[in-house]
Amino acid sequence: MLSRRSSRFAAIVGALLLAAGSTALWFSADRGRADAAVAEAPPPVAETDAEAEQPLLETPEPKRKKSKEEQRFARADRDDDGRITQAEYLHQRRRNFDKLDLNGDGVLQFSEYAAAGIAKFKAADANGDGVLLPPEFATTAPKPKNRQTPSADGCRCSSIPAGASPGADPED
């Protein structure tokens, strides 16, 4: 029986020693990790002047303002593919119906309306491929209105002698 009792005792003592050793190891390992974390933390790095002035994100370059002709082309190019098809070109003309109806009667025959648009499109389509590229579309811009300058007959300013004020009587 002694052997049975001694083997039980040995097993209990072994289990207690194993538990005590594991607990001690666990506490020492946990403390070691905390000490290691404090010891391994790098000191804060001072920012250099160059780093402080440099933005973290790149700022996009400001967009170049489009010319009037580029804006006009973009409005007509409805699918934004850099080309204007005949349908896109005529769509813009449909929106201008009221401008084309000069007498205001609300009647505009499409054949007349479309014929002028198609002729203008074909005249602008230099290479005849059925689409307008930006340089071709630029030729469809409305012509500037002729401004009439006042004639010398209607202008009193030409008869004022040099050095005289416009409101002064020329007889004085």
- Could you tell me which residues come within 8 angstroms of residue 136 by beta carbon, excluding any fewer than 6 positions away? 124, 125, 126, 127
Instruction: Domain 68-138: give its CATH architecture.
Output: Orthogonal Bundle (1.10)
Determine the pLDDT at residue 172: 46
The domain limits of the chain are 2-39, 68-138
Reading the chain (172 residues) residue by residue, the pLDDT tens digits are 557 778 888 888 888 877 777 777 666 655 555 555 555 666 666 666 555 566 666 777 778 888 888 898 998 898 999 998 988 888 877 777 666 666 667 777 666 667 678 888 999 999 999 999 999 999 988 877 776 665 555 555 555 555 555 555 545 4
- Could you tell me which residues come within 8 angstroms of residue 105 by beta carbon, excluding any fewer than 6 positions away? none
Determine the pLDDT at residue 6: 80
Supply the pTM of this predicted model. 0.32
